[in-house]
Amino acid sequence: MTNKLPLATLIELAQSKADEATRRLGLLQNAHTSAAEKLDLLHQYRQEYLDQLQEHLQDGVSSGHLRNFRQFINTLDTAIEQQRALTLQADSRLSSGRSDWQHSKTRLNSFDTLAERLHQQELTTMNRREQRDSDEHTARQFYLRSNKSTD
């Protein structure tokens, strides 16, 4: 009984940590997905803007208008690089979160395995005790019967 209380406490703590790691992993996954979607959106917007520039170039465009297009493309390129860096950071955090989650699940599984082993040991001990009691009872009955027949 003394082993059960500390082990149960360890399992509860490990379960809490695993639940928290799962929650954090979900948040990190959402952040990574959001960052990747924003990066894709910036790439799409840049491509659309380049397509518009191509159309305007075919129709003829003033040098001031062309400068504005190029300046905006440069601004988009800067935003894309910043978002790429954010996406890489989110990827790194997600990888770290996965590692933490796996570690917490492994720890919880270890405690669960230990608890199951202890439970099996208790069952084995109980079964042996019941078998011993049954054997003693049978031996006593046999002894009593054999003493009655000799009387």
How far apart are alpha carbons 27 and 94 in whole angstroms?
9
* pLDDT tens readout for residues 31-81: 999 999 999 999 999 999 999 888 888 888 888 888 999 999 999 999 999
- Write down the pLDDT at residue 1: 46
Find the CATH number of the domain harbouring 10: 1.10.287.1700
Structurally, the chain folds into a number of domains equal to 1
Residue range of the domain that includes 39: 4-150
* pLDDT tens readout for residues 3-16: 557 888 999 999 99
Average pLDDT over residues 93-116: 95
**Token pair belonging to 113:** 């395995």
| Cα→Cα distances 65→21, 61, 70, Å | 52, 6, 9
- pTM of the full predicted structure? 0.71
